[in-house]
Structure 1
Amino acid sequence: MKRNNARNRSPLPASKTREVFAPPEIWTMIFREAGHPVSVDLPINFEDTFVQDYPDVSSIGITPPSTKEAYQTLLAISSTCRSWASLCIPLLYNYVWVSSQNQFNKLLPQLRRHPISQTLGHNTFGGAVRGLYIGYLSPTCTMLSAVCQVCPNLVLLRSVSLEGKSLSQWRSLQVNLCRLESLRCLDLGAAVFQRVSAPLDSAKPIVFRRLECLNCWSYIWRSISVWYTPNIRIMSVQFLAPDATDFQKCVLPFFRLNGRHIRRLTVVSGATQAEGRLIASDVQPIMSLCHDLEFMITTLAPVIPVLWESALPLSHPTLLGLIISLPWIPHDTPSRLKPILQSLNRRNFPCLRRVELSGAWPVDLKSDLYVKVSAPAWFADVLRSCEDDEIAVTQANTIMTVKVVEQFCVFEQDDG
């Protein structure tokens, strides 16, 4: 009788057994094979994702695993059963990629909703979002403020551009961003502010307690003078038209507050005409404020005066790696590079291990050249010195030794 009673006893609900015996990893594999936009977990150590290529510097090295939009699939999945929703929703909502205004308009109301059966506890769908990438042009400050409110657990926020119609909108966005207690990576692209002529910085300090990565382009850097980021490790800033006065007022205060925490720094500029203003000005160099810097990416001429003192040779006590980006090769590249490369030795950079010339100077080592080009003789001396000091000079992951470069170049004495 006892056996019969045991047989007649109703089994556990299927949903509960699946919750126990179906780990999230299996569901992740199933959805990947089916082509659904399953997101992988965001990297915990952002320093390992440091970008090593100038054209992709805005990405901070973090690439979304899928460009498909998730909101329609998510809504259908979450309405099936509790166990299915509890496993799939956190995976799918972990990283959301939006590439058009229409998709954003549909996604935002969905993020405000609660899933069925309280699969996220008392949180909305937005509470499950840890990473958000906005890949279309000119989302407004108001829209990003709304994102901050419905996605309070954001770890990473990236927008390729930003548009503000008033100064108050931008300042309101800064307040909403600093309220994100989990935010660790902030990447704001080119900004356009309409009818704004006043300084963009706030009167009150803006504190980002957990922020580790910051990438700001265009006019965003004019706002960071009052930003305090005690945990920042990776910093990237691009000057479109840097002015010495703006630099002293907006950028230097940020580095005085936070420079000692930065380990990886990118400072680039696309405006060669601004070099004269920066050289003529007596500005405090950034490198003197980043005492523990390990890696740096920089363009050649426009920003070198704001990084180092004008006195040569250049030096830094802790720098391990240096990438000099050469997106274009002007005729005076050798004279600009000469004092920089001649400074690269153990006496000036005791910890330096690698220097990358990200460009095609003095020649593209991957090209099929039938006629050798000329290269300055001093560059051969630099390569020999770096080889003696065990400093690798590279181009596109190829180590540039005198023997390698001689296959493409003829070293000639220059007048400099």
Structure 2
Amino acid sequence: MDFSLDTGNTAWLLTSASLVLLMTPALAFFYGGMVRGKSVLNMLMMSFSAMGVVGLVWSLWGYSLAFGPNVAAGWFGNPFTNFGLTISDNASPVTAFGIPALVFVGFQATFAVITVALISGAIADRVKIGTWMAFAAVWVTVVYAPLAHWVWGGGMFGADGWVAKHLSMPIDFAGGTVVHIDAGAAGLALALLVGKRHGWRKDPMRPHNLPFVMLGAGMLWFGWFGFNAGSELAADGTAGRAWINTFVATSVAMLAWLATERFRDGHATSLGAASGAVAGLVAITPAAGTVDTYGAIGVGAAAGILCALAVGLKYRFGFDDSLDVVGVHLVGGLVGTVMIGLLATNGNHGSFYFPGSQDGLLYGGGFTQLATQVVVALAAMVWSFGLTYVIGWVFKRTMGWRIPQEAEIGGIDLHEHGETAYETVTQGSVLTGQKEIRA
């Protein structure tokens, strides 16, 4: 097919890419407000450094790994085909939408960036920034790009893959498996591998700046319209459906989280409002273009309740997921991905991502799409957890993950970055217990 520019679609995708890029600084504030004051700069830096590392990897070989021609029976794309972004518009996977290849490359780059940044919340307060940055480069290459190829790049979950031939075409409209299950499972693997923060469950580790948290959540909500509605790759009615579903599901999830808090704890908190909104955004992501308004309400309600309950699992099972990446992103991603199998109503609208999918069980489609969604959700979780654990273990044995205990107590900002967010600790010093020691 010869390329013919569609200026409307191109303008919309450029705008959407910019909105999604904003989500990573938004996440930095969301996460930064939830840590203690002595760790906020490090938390911000973990998100910003992900932008730098993934931006370089994606522009060299990452995009080609995700969207290049199949290699090894669709396990990943050929990393050399579009190495350095040598790509023709006529060879782009979005030629039919009239979008220049590099615009699609940029849009997908922002997804890769925030997926890596999401993982950082699981290991907040305690890891070396150098190890984190090296891990980010390896992880986006080995874990993220192949999974993106499976789901969106015509790989194993594509039209010619086993799942599509034996069940139906998987639906992941904007990243339930590729982004959220992927990041959540990776966060769980690293939380287990890196270990607990010093004083976890003994010392208070409350958020130091709840206005930061709410600001970050609001910016995430704003950027998420590009994340979801932009994933239609066209300025059309399905993009509008994705937009309104994102709004509705997020609103309902926030209310459901607050109601759960009120019933369980007696208070509806600002942290709960922000977390509930993010849980709704996560859950509606894979389903945004494939459910109706009632489906969006159902997805939002389930995400708000289940994620609010799931964040307590770390205390029951004893893993220190600092900022609830598992409870919100893994659980929320699973909720949204699986509920598509129940609530999908318009999966045959012809989107680039999932031609040949079926209606959900509650809309007369039978169990086929539900089985498909369960299979791909489990596959994504196992893939990400297993490979992340192996990669993380290698870094643990080589570069090492943990900062010294006294530096963790005194403040990771000062140890790793030589600066503090607030004038409460003298620059160039480390706090050990109650005693300040000059470096």
Under a length normalisation based on structure 2, what TM-score does the superposition of the two structures give? 0.21
Computing the radius of gyration from Cα coordinates, the structure with the larger value is 1
User: Which structure exhibits the higher relative contact order, with contacts defined as CA atoms closer than 8 Å and separated by 6 or more residues?
Assistant: 2
More helix per residue: 1 or 2? 2
